[in-house]
Amino acid sequence: MRATHYDALQVARNASDAVIRAAYKSLAQKYHPDRYDGPPPEAEQKTKMLNEAYSVLSDPERRKQYNESIAVRERSDANYSKVRRKMAARPFPALAVAMVLIAGIVGGILYYRTHPADAKAAAAAATGTAEIKVTKRTPPPTNAASGSYSPTMQDLREKCKPPHCRIVQ
């Protein structure tokens, strides 16, 4: 959690104007560059911080705006903490997705190295083209009993329209 002007003046958020003024005076005397025992840059920095805190908290309108900004910041910090706790409670989803993709790619490479015919068909499917291989022999007649059908060259030409497939003879 980030430091606030209340932390700089070492007072509670519901402190009265008199308490804020007394805390400012006390700390301003303690960290005054002429009286502070530490290094001068540290005294100057603390004095600037105290002056800024007191100027905001002593003005009722600026103090109200500052309290609202603190409330917004704390809500966002709380939401961030909830998300972090949820992320820590379960494995990171992107890592799981990456592992599945890598396993799929490696598995595909190993499979298509051992099955080159399937690799050619997969490449044709990926490019959106299909290849129909036609031999010179005549197709057997249709067997009405089994319902099997052997396509003729005319049937293949009707089904295969470029650029999605091509007939290889």
- pLDDT score for 37: 83
Residue 153 is inside which H or E element, if any? helix 153-159
* Regions of the chain short of the pLDDT cut 70: 1-2, 86-95, 111-113, 115-169
- Tell me the CA distances in angstroms from 25 to 5, 12, 119, one per residue in order: 15, 16, 81
Q: What is the DSSP letter of 131?
A: E
d(CA 114, CA 46): 72
pLDDT tens, residue by residue, 85-126: 766 666 666 667 777 778 878 877 776 667 666 666 666 666
SS3 content of the chain, % helix, strand, coil (to 5): 65, 5, 30
pTM of the predicted model over 0.85: no
